[in-house]
Structure 1
Amino acid sequence: MSTLAEIREVALEAAGHAFRVRVYPAARPTGATLVWAHGGGFLGGTLDMPEADQTAHLLAERGVAVVSVGYSLAPADPLLELPDEARGPNMPSRQQIEAEIAASGPRVRFPVASLQLLAAFDWATEHAAELGGDADRVAIGGASAGANLAAGAALRARDRGARAPSALLLCYGVLHADLPAPRPDLAEALGPDVVEPDGVLALNYVGDPALLADPYAFPGGHDVRGLPPTTIVNAGPDRLRASGEAFGAELAIAGVDVAVSQERGSAHGYLNHVDDPAARRTVDRFARALDTEGR
């Protein structure tokens, strides 16, 4: 991976909480800027994880300036409460989780991270020209929980009536508090032993069960008219694929331009696997979508 010059971090504040963004200037600017949010179940993830850092590098090398958002994380209680015997081989140890909690700053619930994504979008719009971009071509996107935050921020921008994102880019996102039932092909791909999400992470994110119905917390199933052109990429054998597919259908019914695709051989979180060709294909899709909306 090439090293881009002038990558820097900027301190911001929104909803009474400090956060930071990492700015990746485009190698050869096309005029597009993307505000990007990593995943991690709302309670994990960093600006250094490949889903954030590698994705930003690859897009910047394709001419897109990237503002990667280090949003405030929700409490990590669900991970700390997980019994040791239930931890898989790829899951962090309790000691690793405690170390990440200590380094991550104050833990807060909805709506803080959602409002921080919108603040990052506003900052990127204000500074687009400095990044070689166009203030009218600032998009927003994310992966997994970050896709949720991006979609919620896009709804906020729509409803406030001011400048809104030029495009919405979502990768294996969780858009519904209650996941739609999987289609038969997804159910077959997941197999009979799939563990259905129990909603713990969603409830941990919002804190109050009533907030699960807030469209800014989980946009799926709500009024999505007026959202910008949207590109959705789902992982193949991924229970969240049902949410991405359903959200795509909701957008289409609402008259929003939407393209939905699937990385059939890659599981949830594939942007974190640096050697997975699906990561580069997804970046290519996003770069083409941003190039198209500029014409």
Structure 2
Amino acid sequence: MPDSFSRHLVDPELLPMLDAFPTAVLTEAMLPGMRGRASWFPADPKDAERTDQVRRMIPGRAGDPDVEVLIYRPRGVEGSLPCILHIHGGGYVSGRADGNEAMHRPMAADLGCVIVTVEYRLAPETRFPGAVEDCYAALAWTLANAAELGVDPARVGVMGESAGGGLAASLALLARDRGEHQLAFQHLIYPMIDDRTCTRPDPHPTVGEFIWTPHNNRFGWTAILGHEPGIEGVSPYAAAARAESLAGLPPTFIATGALDLFLEENLDYARRLTREGIPTEVHVYPGAFHAFQVMRGARVAQAADRDSRAALNRFLNG
């Protein structure tokens, strides 16, 4: 048996990432170190000059603590702008809102939009529904304060990567079902949306070897659910793929890698959306594993960034 079952399928330009960031086997003891780690990419000072950043504490759900949000806005731009509510990744157990500053500042400036990003509570200290309720509180606050923020309430969408994409998808379902707020779009980058992926008896043979593995996936889902994944009764507001119907969701963008553990759950979600008549754009990048866009110099990562930015521009600016 070869040591690797999928390395031969990896885009050669992504291979250095596997050496720089070897796949770890997650344990609860590792979480403090992961959470304290600095962002992989510092913000470019030129982007800091083009944008303003504000930290705010906003009310959480009744009985929950306040929620911190970071707000980015293009400097010197007046009037009501479209808005992205961004939710960071980290397997539901790690990550920070300010960890994406290097992405948020140029995105806000280049797309001419406001970005509100949420410091939601992490698992296992906070189980479901804490994280998605924090995100819902951020959405409700953004829309209630749209005039103060200079946000067009008709052009507010949600975006996230990995677990952040899972929370974004769950938030879209929660907003639809509560009927209080309407999202203009959902932009999902290799979203973590189905707890059953790590329990299926017939796993995909060439996905999930690198970065985010079946073990890590089970760890993340167990942390947020408070029990083993894959059992009956898991809420769609925890795992969006559990929703019985996807009707009424906003236009959707989904991107994933051909070697990403989430490949099949992402493609199935896209298929279900299209069957409900939801405008859905889907991209699968060959040779790409989970979080491959960290390797910015790789052409496949650059293509994924271009596709993502183009879709966001259409969502935000028509």
Q: Distance in 2 between matches of 1:280 and 1:246?
A: 25
CA distance 1:277–1:14, shift in 2 (3 Å): farther
Show the counterpart of 1:112.
Answer: 130
Q: Could you tell me which of 74, 82, 102 is aligned with 1:54?
A: 102
Aligned length: 259
CA distance 1:269–1:282, shift in 2 (3 Å): same
Residue 277 (structure 1) shift: 5.5
Q: For residues 253-275 of structure 1, what are the alpha-carbon distances to aligned partners after superposition, in whole Å with 9 as ceiling and x for unaligned?
A: 12211111023343212344455
CA distance 1:72–1:168, shift in 2 (3 Å): same
CA distance 1:205–1:188, shift in 2 (3 Å): closer
Q: Distance in 1 between matches of 2:89 and 2:269?
A: 18
- Structure 1 residue runs of 5 or longer lacking an equivalent are 76-106
Q: Distance in 2 between matches of 1:178 and 1:284?
A: 31
Q: Could you tell me which of 113, 121, 124 is aligned with 1:64?
A: 113
Q: Could you tell me which of 53, 57, 60 is aligned with 1:14?
A: 60
Q: 1:33 aligned to 2:33?
A: no
Q: Partner letter of residue 56 of structure 2?
A: V
Residues 232 and 259, structure 1, Cα contact 8 Å, conserved in 2 = yes
TM-score (norm 1): 0.77
Residue 35 (structure 1) shift: 0.5
CA distance 1:252–1:48, shift in 2 (3 Å): same
- Structure 2 residue runs of 5 or longer lacking an equivalent are 1-43
Residue 236 (structure 1) shift: 2.9
CA distance 1:159–1:68, shift in 2 (3 Å): same
Query: Secondary structure of 1:44's partner?
Result: coil
List aligned pairs for 1:154-193, cutoff 5 A.
Answer: 154-179=172-197, 187-188=205-206
Show the counterpart of 1:218.
Answer: 239
Residue 144 (structure 1) shift: 0.5
List aligned pairs for 1:109-148, cutoff 5 A.
Answer: 109-148=127-166
Residue 164 (structure 1) shift: 1.4
Show the counterpart of 1:92.
Answer: none
% identical aligned pairs: 26
Query: Secondary structure of 2:173's partner?
Result: helix
Moved more, 246-255 or 11-20: 11-20
Residues 195 and 221, structure 2, Cα contact 8 Å, conserved in 1 = yes
- State the superposition RMSD in angstroms: 2.9
Residues 293 and 305, structure 2, Cα contact 8 Å, conserved in 1 = no
Show the counterpart of 2:225.
Answer: 206
Residue 182 (structure 1) shift: 11
